[in-house]
Structure 1
Amino acid sequence: MSERVDLWNNGNLVQDIFLGEIKVPVKVLRNDSFQAWYLLQPRENGNKSSKTDDLGSLRLNICYTEDCVLPSEYYTSLRNLLLKSSDVQPISASAAYILSEVCRDKYDAVLPLVRLLLHHQKLVPFVAAVAELDLKDTQEANTIFRGNSLATRCVDEMMKIVGKHYLKVTLKPVIDEICESPKPCEIDPIKLKEGDNVEINMENLRYYVDKVFREIVRSSISCPTLMCDVFYSLRHLAAKRFPNDPHVQYSAVSSFVFLRFFAVAVVSPHTFHLRPHHPDAQTSRTLTLISKAIQTLGSWGSLNKTKLSSFKETFMCEFFKTFQEDTFTESVKKFLDDVSSTESKEPSGVSEPVHLKEGEMYKRAQGRTRIGKKNFKKRWFCLTSREFTYHKQQDKEPIFTIPIKNILAVEKLDESSFNKKNMFQVLHGEKPLYIQANNCVEASEWIEALCRVTRCNQKRLSFYHPSAFLNGNWLCCKATAESTEGCARCTADVPADTQIEIDGDRETERIYSLFTINRSKLQKLEEACGSIAVYQGPRKEPDDYSNFTIEDSVATFHTLQQIIDIVEKLNESHEKYQKKRSSSAKYGSEENPIVGKVS
Structure 2
Amino acid sequence: MAKRSSLFIRIVEGKNLPAKDITGSSDPYCIVKVDNEPIIRTATVWKTLCPFWGEEYQVHLPPTFHAVAFYIMDEDALSRDDVIGKVCLTRDTLAAHPKGFSGWAHLTEVDPDEEVQGEIHLRLEVVPGTPAGRLRCSVLEARDLAPKDRNGASDPFVRVRYNGRTQETSIVKKSCYPRWNETFEFDLEEGAAGSLCVEAWDWDLVSRNDFLGKVVFNVQRLWAAQQEEGWFRLQPDQSKSRRGEGSLGSLQLEVRLRDETVLPSGCYQPLVQLLCREVKLGTQGPGKLIPLIEETTSTECRQEVATNLLKLFLGQGLAKDFLDLLFQLELGRTSEANTLFRSNSLASKSMESFLKVVGMRYLHGVLGPIIDRVFEEKKYVELDPSKVEVKDVGCSGLHRPQTEAEVLEQSAQTLRIHLGALLSALSRSVRACPAVVRATFRQLFRRVRERFPGAQHEAVQNVGNMDTPASRAKEAWMEPLQPTVRQGVAQLKDFITKLVDIEEKEELDLQRTLSLQAPPVKEGPLFIHRTKGKGPLMSSFKKLHFSLTTEALSFAKTPGSKKSALIKLANIRAAEKVEEKSFGSSHVMQVIYEDDAGKPQTVYLQCKCVNELNQWLSALRKVSISNPGLLGSYHPGVFRGDKWSCCHQKDKSDLGCDKTRSRVTLQEWNDPLDHDLEAQLICRHLLGVEAALREKHRELSAGTEAGSVHTGPGEAPEDALAQLLQVLQDLQEAHRSGPASLPPSEPHRPGPLQT
Which TM class, normalised by the smaller chain length? Answer: 0.5 to 0.7
Give the aligned partner of residue 54 of structure 1: 84
Q: Does residue 502 of structure 1 match 2:678? A: no
Give the aligned partner of residue 243 of structure 1: 453
CA distance in 2, matches of 1:2, 1:512: 18
2:271 to 78, 82, 105: 78
Alpha-carbon shift at residue 313 of structure 1 (Å): 1.8
Q: Give the gaps of 5 or more residues in structure 1.
A: 12-16, 260-294, 298-302, 346-402, 414-438, 442-497, 537-550
What value does the CA root-mean-square deviation take over the aligned residues?
4.6
Letter in 2 for 1:181: E
Give the aligned partner of residue 334 of structure 2: 138
SS in 1 for 2:94: strand
CA gap 1:332/1:29 in 2 versus in 1, 3 angstroms? closer
1:89 to 270, 273, 283: 283
Counterparts of 1:276-425 in structure 2, within 5 Å, are 295-296=464-465, 303=467, 307-315=468-476, 318-323=479-484, 328-343=488-503, 409-410=512-513
The CA deviation string for residues 394-424 of structure 1, in whole angstroms up to 9 with x for no partner, is xxxxxxxxx99877844769xxxxxxxxxxx
Q: Does residue 521 of structure 1 match 2:681? A: no
SS in 1 for 2:417: helix
CA gap 1:139/1:66 in 2 versus in 1, 3 angstroms? same
- Are the aligned partners of 1:135 and 1:241 in contact in 2 as well (CA < 8 Å)? yes
CA distance in 2, matches of 1:573, 1:188: 60
Alpha-carbon shift at residue 29 of structure 1 (Å): 5.6
Letter in 2 for 1:21: I
CA distance in 2, matches of 1:330, 1:38: 45
Alpha-carbon shift at residue 562 of structure 1 (Å): 1.2
**What TM-score does the superposition give when structure 1 sets the normalisation length?**
0.54
SS in 2 for 1:228: helix
**What TM-score does the superposition give when structure 2 sets the normalisation length?**
0.44
Q: Does residue 66 of structure 1 match 2:276? A: no
Counterparts of 1:246-261 in structure 2, within 5 Å, are 246-251=456-461
Alpha-carbon shift at residue 52 of structure 1 (Å): 3.4
Give the aligned partner of residue 123 of structure 1: 319
CA gap 1:211/1:97 in 2 versus in 1, 3 angstroms? same
CA distance in 1, matches of 2:442, 2:321: 11
CA distance in 2, matches of 1:344, 1:247: 22
Alpha-carbon shift at residue 555 of structure 1 (Å): 5.0
CA distance in 2, matches of 1:96, 1:148: 16
Alpha-carbon shift at residue 163 of structure 1 (Å): 1.6
Alpha-carbon shift at residue 210 of structure 1 (Å): 0.9
Alpha-carbon shift at residue 47 of structure 1 (Å): 7.1
Letter in 2 for 1:9: E
Give the aligned partner of residue 417 of structure 2: 207
Q: Does residue 224 of structure 1 match 2:434? A: yes
Query: Which protein has the larger Cα radius of gyration, Structure 1 or Structure 2?
Result: 2
2:350 to 138, 146, 154: 154
SS in 2 for 1:250: coil
Q: Does residue 40 of structure 1 match 2:72? A: yes
**Higher share in strand:** 2
- Are the aligned partners of 1:7 and 1:18 in contact in 2 as well (CA < 8 Å)? no
SS in 2 for 1:148: coil
The CA deviation string for residues 242-291 of structure 1, in whole angstroms up to 9 with x for no partner, is 2112423433xxx8xxx7xxxxxxxxxxxxxxxxxxxxxxxxxxxxxxxx
Q: Does residue 166 of structure 1 match 2:362? A: yes
CA distance in 2, matches of 1:6, 1:499: 20
1:570 to 727, 731, 735: 731
Alpha-carbon shift at residue 117 of structure 1 (Å): 0.4
Letter in 2 for 1:566: V
Give the aligned partner of residue 616 of structure 2: none
Alpha-carbon shift at residue 39 of structure 1 (Å): 4.2
1:196 to 404, 410, 424: 404
SS in 2 for 1:200: helix
Letter in 1 for 2:263: L
Give the aligned partner of residue 561 of structure 1: 722
CA distance in 2, matches of 1:518, 1:192: 52
Alpha-carbon shift at residue 191 of structure 1 (Å): 2.8
The CA deviation string for residues 520-570 of structure 1, in whole angstroms up to 9 with x for no partner, is 22223334445666789xxxxxxxxxxxxxx99x95433321111111122
CA gap 1:316/1:77 in 2 versus in 1, 3 angstroms? farther
- Are the aligned partners of 2:435 and 2:511 in contact in 1 as well (CA < 8 Å)? no
CA distance in 2, matches of 1:2, 1:561: 33
CA distance in 2, matches of 1:311, 1:22: 41
Q: Does residue 9 of structure 1 match 2:13? A: yes
CA gap 1:596/1:509 in 2 versus in 1, 3 angstroms? same
Letter in 2 for 1:192: V
Alpha-carbon shift at residue 225 of structure 1 (Å): 0.8
Give the aligned partner of residue 293 of structure 2: 99
CA gap 1:504/1:407 in 2 versus in 1, 3 angstroms? closer
Letter in 2 for 1:243: P
SS in 2 for 1:67: strand
CA gap 1:212/1:36 in 2 versus in 1, 3 angstroms? closer
- Percent of pairs with identical residues: 21
**Higher share in helix:** 1
The CA deviation string for residues 169-202 of structure 1, in whole angstroms up to 9 with x for no partner, is 1111111122221333322233334543323322
CA distance in 2, matches of 1:66, 1:514: 14
Letter in 2 for 1:242: F
Comparing 68-77 and 153-162, the one that deviates more: 68-77
- Are the aligned partners of 2:312 and 2:675 in contact in 1 as well (CA < 8 Å)? yes
